[in-house]
């Protein structure tokens, strides 16, 4: 890479984190070490770098001392990277000329057992951060234009509900359905818990609504053939009959749903004995029966439900729990009792998971006199046929593993959800990853649950994993809102941390394009030769292309050779920590001063200085409401400024005392 202009006016801020760092790391020496590094003009210790007062001071320093880059050595970048990028922006420098150094999670806390060595390590980490920021480049967000349209793949309840939401928010929507009819599995369902509305009517009313909305175009018996382009400007080729349509969309929602688990031949007697059927088959039987429940010309007087069929297999393929099957089986049993008289029900289960509101169904089922028998995975029930009856042998865990024999007319295999058999077709076209369970994967199950690693491609409903109808619709609607947040603006901003090619060094061998999963690298003619060029909108910045380049002509912004090797140099430099320093570390510089802390903290601290107090006692003394005291005290506790010191006489309240605050300054 070409020689870069190094930053020459760097500001370094070393955080005490109210003792979380300064109890173990000698922050004063860190400040002095940083001050002596090349290019550093400001080096300070701060009680809480994230505190509003410090952010203001940083802005003052940046502007007043004309800083061109900043380093904050505090907690993990997962917590405050964006906080300080924003500080940089507000102060008028580029947010990418900022480096966060993690001296808490990866230093003071991890090495609280060896404080002196923690200081040595912190010095290395801080120097690495200074080197990295010295080579950092100012980066601008990448702007791409966006089409105010979305493609929704799959017209089950999730896809239909999301399509309506997207249309109502002002998007043109193309709803693509593989089958002849819409509504997916739900369209085949009868009465549902809680509303008693049938699946058929839910699916029907959604279709009616879609027909009324002109901005939704529904394609049935259609399939997605090819997808090109990227966030903001996808081109989706859809085949309907003999025709191929080219649709333009800003984003894509995948709501392709699931397949019901199909038991193997002979699994609990399935397709071996005529009276063994799956749960979906049984639901259909209930819905289509008149006043008596008849199967194979036999009146059904007893039913055995076997749970977890094909699911929760410790050694098998489907390790997960399918979430919905316990509830569906128990709900089915309730429907049977409601519709037909005198049917005995046996539930052969491993664990019952009627979570949330669905628990009332389980309770009702027990009240109805249903019999629950528990089996273990390693000793599953055995189904056989004797004459006209099905006979099940089970070792019941609830009665000390007693072996029992049940005679029943019907065995219902409580089957769950598996990924669609054609799931690879869509993931292949869209390049969205699937997990070990083969369901499509989100970026983060808790924090980014409907986004995929492909910008602009979202997942909703049960294509992501087993979900009931409400959960499916929730996730699809959340994806719809995320999509609208992208398409509502004519331009979209993307993070600029992507691959860049050094055109002078590149000789186009094609190796980078070969490893790129996102088809983001193409040939370009430049300087009279063919070179590699990166599509800014599709590049994910993973860096896979960088090590394979024989000419070392590719790097990722923020991860250039100069930055990474500079960090290594920073770690490698010799660190001298003076001996007496360790002892002083805990108190920082002459104890913790309180000037940056809220007034309430100061009052609490002053009060606790005389003797430990409980929350009600503090509230009374300071004449503040106990909630306010609790909130502030808990925050102080989090920052290790106070600690609990035993319970009061009534065993109701903790006493609190000061921890690290040695000299309270009022």
564 binds other proteins (CB under 8 A): yes
User: At closest approach, how far in Å is the CB of 467 from other proteins?
Assistant: 21
Whole-angstrom Cα Rg for the chain: 32
How many angstroms separate the CA atoms of 509 and 68, rounded?
38
How far is CA 631 from each of CA 234, 619, 621, 622, 651, rounded to the nearest angstrom? 48, 12, 16, 14, 21
Residue 555: CB partners within 8 Å, gap ≥ 6?
1, 499, 500, 502, 546, 561
**DSSP-assigned beta bridge partners for residue 172:** 149
105 binds other proteins (CB under 8 A): yes
Among the listed ranges 146-154, 240-248, 281-289, 567-575, the one in contact with other proteins (CB under 8 A) is 567-575
Residue 10 burial (10 A CB sphere; 0-12, 13-18, 19+):
buried
Judged by CB, which is closer to other proteins: 485, or 568? Answer: 568
Choose, by CB under 8 A, the member of 571, 600, 612, 644 that binds other proteins. 571
Residues between 43 and 102 with contacts to other proteins, criterion CB under 8 A: 76-78, 102
**DSSP-assigned beta bridge partners for residue 156:** 183
433 binds other proteins (CB under 8 A): yes
624 binds other proteins (CB under 8 A): no
Judged by CB, which is closer to other proteins: 85, or 148? Answer: 85
How many angstroms separate the CA atoms of 73 and 328, rounded?
53
Choose, by CB under 8 A, the member of 213, 515, 586, 622 that binds other proteins. 515
Judged by CB, which is closer to other proteins: 26, or 409? Answer: 26
Judged by CB, which is closer to other proteins: 152, or 498? Answer: 498
User: At closest approach, how far in Å is the CB of 423 from other proteins?
Assistant: 14
443 binds other proteins (CB under 8 A): yes
User: At closest approach, how far in Å is the CB of 535 from other proteins?
Assistant: 16
Residue with tokens 């399935």: 270
What's the token pair of residue 27?
């922050």
Judged by CB, which is closer to other proteins: 315, or 444? Answer: 444
578 binds other proteins (CB under 8 A): no
Among the listed ranges 299-307, 377-385, 403-411, 541-549, the one in contact with other proteins (CB under 8 A) is 541-549
User: At closest approach, how far in Å is the CB of 121 from other proteins?
Assistant: 5
Among the listed ranges 82-90, 200-208, 436-444, 594-602, the one in contact with other proteins (CB under 8 A) is 436-444
User: At closest approach, how far in Å is the CB of 106 from other proteins?
Assistant: 6
Q: Binders of other proteins: how many residues, by CB under 8 A?
A: 53
What's the token pair of residue 213?
């909305």
Residue 437: phi and psi, rounded to 5, are -80, 0
Cis peptide upstream of residue 514 (ω within 30 degrees of 0): no
Judged by CB, which is closer to other proteins: 117, or 287? Answer: 117
Site string for other proteins, 473-512 (x = CB under 8 A): ------------------------x---------------
559 binds other proteins (CB under 8 A): yes
Judged by CB, which is closer to other proteins: 565, or 589? Answer: 565
How many angstroms separate the CA atoms of 115 and 108, rounded?
7
Judged by CB, which is closer to other proteins: 517, or 589? Answer: 517
552 binds other proteins (CB under 8 A): yes
User: At closest approach, how far in Å is the CB of 567 from other proteins?
Assistant: 6
Is residue 573 within 8 Å of residue 120, measured between CB atoms?
no
320 binds other proteins (CB under 8 A): no
How many angstroms separate the CA atoms of 308 and 351, rounded?
9
2 binds other proteins (CB under 8 A): no
107 binds other proteins (CB under 8 A): yes
Is residue 656 within 8 Å of residue 643, measured between CB atoms?
yes
What's the token pair of residue 276?
């063994």
Residues between 109 and 138 with contacts to other proteins, criterion CB under 8 A: 109-114, 117-118, 120-121, 124-125, 128
Residue 92: phi and psi, rounded to 5, are 95, 10
517 binds other proteins (CB under 8 A): yes
Residue with tokens 């600029």: 496
Is residue 257 within 8 Å of residue 418, measured between CB atoms?
no
Judged by CB, which is closer to other proteins: 32, or 117? Answer: 117
Give the containing element (helix H, strand E) for 587.
Answer: none
**DSSP-assigned beta bridge partners for residue 13:** 44, 72
How many angstroms separate the CA atoms of 234 and 90, rounded?
34
User: At closest approach, how far in Å is the CB of 348 from other proteins?
Assistant: 35
User: At closest approach, how far in Å is the CB of 466 from other proteins?
Assistant: 20
Number of helices and strands (H, E) in the chain?
Answer: 18, 32
Residue 489: phi and psi, rounded to 5, are -95, 145
User: At closest approach, how far in Å is the CB of 240 from other proteins?
Assistant: 32
Q: Residue 14, SS3?
A: strand
Q: Where are the beta strands (DSSP E) in 67-187?
A: 69-74, 98-102, 142-145, 149-153, 172-176
For binding to other proteins (CB under 8 A), which residues are involved?
Answer: 76-78, 102, 104-114, 117-118, 120-121, 124-125, 128, 433, 436, 441, 443-444, 453, 497, 515, 517, 540-544, 546-548, 552, 556, 559, 561, 564-565, 567-569, 571-572, 574-576
């Amino acid at each position: 890479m070409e020689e870069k202009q190094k930053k020459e006016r760097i500001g370094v801020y070393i955080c005490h984190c109210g003792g979380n760092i300064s109890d173990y790391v000698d922050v004063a020496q860190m400040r002095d070490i940083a001050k002596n590094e090349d290019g550093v003009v400001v080096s300070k210790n701060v009680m809480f770098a994230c505190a509003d007062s410090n952010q203001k001071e940083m802005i003052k320093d940046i502007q007043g001392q004309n800083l061109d880059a900043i380093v904050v050595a505090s907690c993990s970048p997962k917590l405050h990277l964006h906080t300080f990028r924003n500080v940089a922006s507000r102060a008028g420098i580029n947010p990418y000329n900022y480096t966060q150094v993690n001296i808490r999670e990866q230093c003071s806390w991890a090495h609280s057992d060896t404080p002196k060595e923690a200081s040595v390590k912190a010095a290395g980490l801080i120097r690495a951060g200074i080197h990295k920021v010295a080579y950092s480049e100012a980066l601008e967000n990448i702007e791409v234009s966006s089409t105010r349209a979305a493609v929704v793949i799959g017209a089950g309840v999730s896809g239909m509900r999301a399509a309506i939401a997207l249309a109502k928010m002002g998007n043109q929507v193309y709803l693509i359905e593989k089958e002849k009819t819409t509504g997916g599995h739900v369209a085949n369902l009868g009465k549902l818990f809680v509303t008693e509305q049938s699946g058929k009517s839910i699916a029907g009313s959604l279709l009616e609504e879609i027909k009324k909305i002109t901005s939704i175009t529904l394609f049935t018996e259609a399939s997605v053939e090819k997808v090109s382009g990227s966030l903001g400007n996808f081109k989706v080729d859809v085949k309907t009959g003999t025709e191929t349509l080219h649709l333009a969309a800003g984003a894509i929602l995948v709501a392709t749903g699931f397949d019901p688990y199909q038991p193997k031949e002979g699994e609990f007697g399935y397709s071996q004995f005529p009276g063994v059927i799956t749960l979906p088959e049984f639901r259909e039987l209930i819905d289509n029966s008149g006043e008596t429940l008849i199967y194979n010309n036999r009146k059904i007087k007893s039913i055995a439900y076997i749970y977890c069929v094909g699911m929760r297999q410790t050694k098998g393929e489907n390790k997960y729990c399918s979430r919905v099957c316990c509830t569906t089986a128990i709900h089915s049993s309730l429907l049977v009792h409601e519709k037909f008289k005198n049917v005995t029900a046996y539930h052969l289960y491993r664990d019952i998971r009627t979570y949330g509101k669905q628990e009332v169904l389980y309770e009702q089922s027990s009240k109805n006199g249903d019999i629950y028998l528990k089996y273990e995975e390693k000793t599953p029930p055995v189904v056989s046929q004797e004459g006209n009856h099905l006979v099940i042998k089970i070792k019941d865990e609830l009665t000390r593993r007693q072996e029992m024999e049940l005679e029943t007319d019907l065995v219902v295999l409580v089957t769950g959800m598996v990924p669609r058999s054609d799931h690879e077709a869509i993931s292949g076209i869209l390049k969205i990853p699937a997990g070990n369970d083969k369901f499509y994967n989100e970026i983060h199950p808790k924090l980014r649950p409907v986004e995929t690693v492909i910008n602009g491609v979202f997942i909703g409903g049960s294509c992501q994993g087993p979900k009931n109808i409400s959960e499916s619709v929730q996730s699809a609607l959340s994806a719809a809102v995320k999509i609208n947040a992208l398409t509502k603006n004519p331009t979209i901003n993307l993070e600029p941390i992507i691959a860049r090619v050094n055109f002078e060094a590149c000789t186009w061998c094609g190796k980078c394009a070969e490893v790129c999963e996102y088809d983001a690298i193409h040939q370009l003619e430049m300087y009279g030769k063919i070179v590699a060029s990166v599509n800014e909108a599709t590049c994910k910045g993973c860096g896979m292309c960088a090590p394979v380049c024989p000419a070392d002509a590719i790097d990722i912004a923020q991860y250039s050779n100069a930055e990474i090797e500079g960090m290594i140099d920073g770690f490698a430099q010799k660190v001298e920590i003076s001996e007496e320093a360790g002892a002083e570390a805990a108190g920082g510089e002459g104890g913790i001063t309180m000037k940056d802390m809220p007034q309430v903290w100061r009052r609490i601290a002053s009060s606790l200085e005389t003797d430990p107090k409980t929350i009600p006692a503090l509230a009374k003394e300071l004449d503040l409401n106990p909630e306010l005291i609790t909130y502030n005290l808990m925050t102080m506790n989090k920052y290790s400024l106070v600690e609990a010191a035993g319970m009061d006489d009534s065993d109701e309240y903790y006493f609190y005392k000061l921890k690290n605050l040695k000299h309270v300054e009022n």
